[in-house]
Each structure stands twice: as C-alpha cells, then as structure tokens.
Structure 1
Amino acid sequence: MTTTTTDDVAPVRFDTKIAVLLRDDLQPWQRLNVTAFLVSGLGTAVPEVVGEPYADGDGTAYLPMFRQPVLVFEGAKEVLTAAHGRALSRSLPVAVFTSDLFATGNDRDNRAAVRALGRDRLDLVGMAVHGPRNAVDKVLKGARMHP
C-alpha cells in the first residue's frame, strides 16, 4: 500500500521561470522550430533545470526533460528587442534565434550568422531566458502569453 503525505499532493512551486519569447509575425512552423532550438540551449547551459530520466511501467528508459513548465510568450519586434536588453542587463542566461538562422542549415553557420552582427543589430525572432521568477517577469514586460 502506498501512502500519500501532504507533501506528495501539494502543488509544486518553482522559484525560477523558463520562458520563450517569440516575435508575433512568425509562421506556425517557425514558432515551433525556434522554440525547440531555444530551449535546447537552456537545457545545456543551465543543467539544474533538467529533471531525472523517465521510465515507463515496463522499465523502458526515456530521456530527462525540464523539471518545470516552459512558458511561451509573443510580442512585436520592439518587445523582443527590449526584453533582450533587459535579460542581458540582469545577466540572465539567454538563448537567441535571429531571422538569419532560417537560411542556414547547421550549427557552425548559425553561430557565424549571430557573430556577424553586434547585439543591437541582431534581427531577433525569438529568445529563451531562465532565472528568478520576478526577474523573468520583468524581462517579459509587454509580452503576452502565446495563444
């Protein structure tokens, strides 16, 4: 018999937030692609956001995933630019995706495309950020939840 304590049923509240901010003029396939690329950066740079591996009832092993929800937001180009600046000024871990990356086909060319421009000239179409809930909320000021 399994017993359930109050701690087992209490809602889990995280001190941190994982958020993706997408430019609101992207095509649906672009939104999905950008989101997938962006969160992969957070998982490698901030290993504490990744939980334990999964296994089903038959013992089949599965890869670990984030231990907390990923919230997806959208906003105009100006909202994204401002959020990027706020995230950098708070020294939060940030992943970026620029419009140039839609024309490249590999990681080497992706990195070269970002490196070719100064931070103020990046044509951002998405960013992911992780940090304390309050700080991430301030970074995302002006963005709205993705529908």
Structure 2
Amino acid sequence: MFDTKIAYIVRNDLPIWQRLNVVAFLATGIAASAPEIMGAPYVDALGRQYGNMSGQPMLIFEADVAGLQTVQRKGFERELTMIPYVHAMFSTGHDEANREVFLAEDAENMNLVGLGLRGPKKMVDKVIKGLALHG
C-alpha cells in the first residue's frame, strides 16, 4: 500500500488544545517536505471545490520529553524526515521568532513537545516502537 509512514509524537503532559495545535503545525511541515503525498482537491455533489489533503494515513502517538528525545535521536540515526516543535515556540507569535527560539535550544537536549516523522515504513516503525497511540 504505502512504502512510507507518517507519525506524529506529541508530549503527553500538554493541555489538549496545545497537543492539537502542535500536531496541526507538524502536519504542515510533513506536507511541505513531501508534496507527493497530497491528494487531489475534493469536489462535492454540487460541484463546489474544496482543498486537498494527504492521501496517506497518519498516526499520532504520545510520549514524555525523554521519549521524544529518544525518537529524535533514532530518527537522525535513520535519516528520517523530522519536523520539530519545541516548548519555547508556544511563546512566539510568528515563524521567524520560532526559528530564533529553536536555534537557541540545546541541540542535544531539546525541550521537545512534538515531532513529525516520515520515512520508510520499517524505519519509522523501529523509531516509534514502544510508544502508545495518543489516547
């Protein structure tokens, strides 16, 4: 069916609204990095056109910060596409500021609140092994 897999891992100690916000931003990053996943626009029975979305399924998992850091390390080892979201990005108001606070993070110990992953299915499965689906 699909030879790649998309997974989002969101931190389990965030309020629900923040979890949803993080996943929404991560999904845009995955779509931008892999435009080939985008399906055709939707058309309703009256002929009205809507936007398109990914034609590939996506799974959402949860983890604590240590779990996210482990996923990040394993993702780099396997050269997966990774889209990060760090806690400091909650305090910014625009993309340039997000990049500034991201750059200021300790690269070996990021305060991650979410990661989007995409890559070969077997590699993604190894990286997320043991994580619980978001409940």
TM-score range, shorter chain: over 0.9
**1:29-70 CA deviation, whole Å, 9 max, x = no partner?**
010000000010010111111111111111111111011111
1:121 shift after superposition = 2.9
Distance 1:124 1:131 in 2: 20
Select 1:98's aligned residue among 58, 80, 86: 86
Distance 1:88 1:119 in 2: 12
Residue of structure 1 equivalent to 2:39:
51
Aligned residue pair count: 135
Q: Which amino acid aligns with 1:69?
A: P
* Residue 34 (1) aligns with residue 22 (2): yes
Distance 1:48 1:135 in 2: 19
1:146 shift after superposition = 0.6
Identity of aligned residues (%): 41
Select 1:122's aligned residue among 90, 110, 126: 110
Q: Which amino acid aligns with 1:140?
A: I
Instruction: Give TM-score, length-normalised by structure 2.
Output: 0.95
Stretches of structure 2 that go unaligned for 5 or more consecutive residues are none
**1:98-133 CA deviation, whole Å, 9 max, x = no partner?**
000111111110111111124213200100001111
1:23 shift after superposition = 1.1
Q: Any idea what SS the aligned residue of 1:30 has?
A: helix
Instruction: Give TM-score, length-normalised by structure 1.
Output: 0.88
Distance 1:21 1:115 in 2: 21
Residue of structure 1 equivalent to 2:133:
145
